[in-house]
Structure 1
Amino acid sequence: MRAEAEGEGELGMLMVGNVGVNRVRTACLDFENIRNLEEMVFQRPGGFEATTKPYFYQRARDADIRLAQRVVNGERFHPATRSLWFFDPGENTPCPAQWYGQWNTGRFKAHCFFSPTAEECPEI
């Protein structure tokens, strides 16, 4: 969460955590065979870009662990509540209406979030 969204503050990191947990908890779309956090983070294609950077491999701080525990325990934050995707379209660039066929559910700072419908992924 920190490697993907530290610049977004705690709330931004929690939202990125929501996306990760949602990918593990669902068995739909690109995530049918993802059953744990490690598989989700390193999924190719579609995993977390930060895994390709040395920063990702730094030891988690106590604050990072507490944030991760919150999302694992079920806390959800809009617009990432049901999201399976997020990305940064670039400074001063609006979020597209859809990404990977999923609708934009909102933006938090630099990140745009995208969620499937309840019919596509009912277990989120």
Structure 2
Amino acid sequence: MLARLMRAEAEGEGDLGMLMVGNVGVNRVRSGCLDFKNIRTIPQMVFQSPGGFEATQKGYFYQGARDREIRLAKRMINGERQHPASNSLWFFKPAGACPSQWFDQWNAGRFKSHCFFRPTSADCPNVY
């Protein structure tokens, strides 16, 4: 399921973009904080409502994951982190530049068209 999410959200941004989406997803499961206090599994994270992923509303998400995406998802589940998603819990694709904050969360950086946002270590120590 994580592999399908990574592909549906960021296939156009290559392996690194998909890894970053996976990084955010795994962080949400591990964090136990803020909007994700009750998220404990990958399916809960993927289908969280409100706050889930737009990709789940499109048919592409429901196609089977390919070996490549499965290998990338396993890397994230095994603890690999990719900057700027390392400690991030959110990402989005703005029309222009990344804002310095998004819903009171700080910008961690940008990769191609996605901006990544992280909580403070005080708010979410489990993502650090």
Normalising by the smaller structure, the TM-score range is over 0.9
Of 67, 70, 84 in structure 2, the residue corresponding to residue 65 of structure 1 is 70
Residue 100 of structure 1 and its aligned partner are, at CA, apart by: 1.7
Residue 43 of structure 1 and its aligned partner are, at CA, apart by: 0.5
Residue type of the partner of 1:117?
A: T
Identity of aligned residues (%): 71
Over 2 Å off, 4+ runs:
none
Measured in 2, the distance between the counterparts of 1:109 and 1:122 equals 27
Which ranges of structure 1 fall in alignment gaps of 5 or more residues? none
Can you list the C-alpha shifts for 1:73-96, whole angstroms capped at 9, x where unaligned? 000000000000000002xx0001
How many residues are matched? 122
Measured in 2, the distance between the counterparts of 1:107 and 1:34 equals 25
Q: Normalized against structure 2, the TM-score is what?
A: 0.94
| Greater per-residue helix proportion | 2
Which ranges of structure 2 fall in alignment gaps of 5 or more residues? 1-5
> In the alignment, does 2:30 pair up with 1:34?
no
> In the alignment, does 2:125 pair up with 1:122?
yes
> In the alignment, does 2:54 pair up with 1:49?
yes
The equivalent residue for 1:25 is 30
Q: What RMSD over aligned residues (CA atoms) do the two structures have, in Å?
A: 0.5
